[in-house]
Amino acid sequence: MLKKSTSSSTIDDNRMLASEKKDECLKPCESTLAIIRQFARAYHFEHALAPRHAAVILN
């Protein structure tokens, strides 16, 4: 069984470890989100302009 430790140093150590793991986890997520945003912008931009380009070509 696990011992329950309530010493403040252990709690602080656990908080530091949790925050480090959170940072490690968020970095790849943030870069993935940035890539998704880039694609979304490009997709939106392309589709927003497509009808205008078609109209210019046809006229």
DSSP, collapsed to helix, strand or coil, labels residue 3 as: coil
Domain assignment of residue 8, yes or no? no
Domain assignment of residue 3, yes or no? no
- 8-state DSSP, 4: P
Domain assignment of residue 38, yes or no? yes
Domain assignment of residue 35, yes or no? yes
Domain containing 31 equals: 26-59
Model confidence pLDDT, tens digit, residues 16-48: 777 777 666 667 677 888 888 888 888 777 666
Q: Which residue has the higher pLDDT, 56 or 27?
A: 27
User: In the chain, helix, strand, coil percent, each to 5?
Assistant: 85, 0, 15
Residue indicated by tokens 């997520």:
29
Task: Output Rg (C-alpha) for the chain, integer angstroms.
Answer: 25
Domain assignment of residue 1, yes or no? no
pTM of the model: 0.35
